[in-house]
Amino acid sequence: MPSATDADVVRMRDQLFFEGPEIKRRLSRFWLLLVLAAVIASAGVVSDSTATVIGAMIVAPLMVPILGAVVAVVLADRTNLLRSLALIVAGAAAVVAIGYVVGRCVPGPVVAATNSQVASRVEPTFIELIAALATGAVGAVALARDDISDTLPGVAIAISLVPPLAVVGLTLESNAPKQSFGALLLFAANVTAILASGLVVMAIYRVHHLSTTEAEAKRVHRGRAVAAVGVALVAVAIPLALVSARLNDSRTTESTVSSAASAWADDVGWTVVSVSTQPGGTVVRASGPLPEPDTASLRKALARAGLGRTKVQIQLIPSHTIEVGPGN
């Protein structure tokens, strides 16, 4: 059974807590790296550059106060718990503000319809929560065991903290509040997952048996804190599950519509260009020669497939050749 030692606790406190004579230097380092990471992430999202966004993930120091909150709960250290939570909230707000300012400096909106970096972060699903739980566990194990601490850069890349916050600011500036909420939900899910899996790992390593003997008034009620994290985990899991179910239904509908539309298009000599889910329903784009084909058979095919009440729109794009230059 793995077990942490007093030396491990001292090392973790030194890595994660903002306390002691070095507190000013540690705080200045945290804010410097956070601001730079926020600028890099915002620029990476605006330019739709995956490499730049990954660079921001590596630079970002937000994992430090999040894991600091985990260790503070386990050690029942109220002072450092409150300090870590304050840094998480203040840091998140700062990144959102920087994203908003960067959004003001670029022409045109930065939204999911035109930017893949935004699109990948505004509809988080339940599977991303599972990935975040596993990644948070790796980060906590790397913290508890100094012999595998070299995995932390990989953890920073695997779990997304600063980029979703930058997307929140950018989409707020672009007047897309629903997308902002989705990106904020992703951030909240990742933070909650780190806290939950981190607490489990610290319990496995029995770090709670090494808690300091502060005055009872200054101690954290460990059970209440763990319960709060559990409630938060459920609170983010519900909307993620709902989004997953909705996306799964959309994919199923798209697949059924695509099959019916392709069969119809083959019969009338047209070609299905795309099938997509839009706010108003499923949209089929088809192209072919004039005259425009009758869509009654497609409507019947959709009804036979169980989509008689599903809103499906077909956009017909005539394709024909007109000679505008001199003939041979």
% of residues, the chain, pLDDT over 70: 91
Owner of token pair 């909650």: 192
Q: Give the closest residue to 198 by CA, choosing from 277, 154, 248, 144.
A: 144
Range name among 153-157, 285-289, 312-316 with the lowest pLDDT average: 153-157
Q: Give every CB contact of residue 167 below 8 A, 6+ residues apart in sequence.
A: 45, 99, 117, 118, 121, 122, 179, 180, 183
- Residue 322 pLDDT exceeds 80: no
pTM of the model: 0.85
Kindly give the residue spans of alpha helices, DSSP state H, lying in the chain: 6-16, 23-46, 50-59, 63-74, 78-104, 116-119, 126-144, 152-158, 162-173, 177-204, 222-268, 296-304
- Residue 147 pLDDT exceeds 80: no
Range name among 38-42, 151-155, 222-226 with the lowest pLDDT average: 151-155
Long-range CB contact pairs, 271-278, < 8 A, 24+:
273/317, 277/250, 277/253, 278/313
Task: Give me the CATH topology for the region 253-318.
Answer: GMP Synthetase; Chain A, domain 3 (3.30.300)
pLDDT at 216: 47
283: left (phi > 0), else alpha (psi -120 to 50), else beta?
beta
Q: Where are the domains of the chain?
A: 6-220, 253-318
Token pair belonging to 317: 């794009």
Most confidently predicted of 33-47, 157-171, 305-319: 33-47
pLDDT at 215: 43
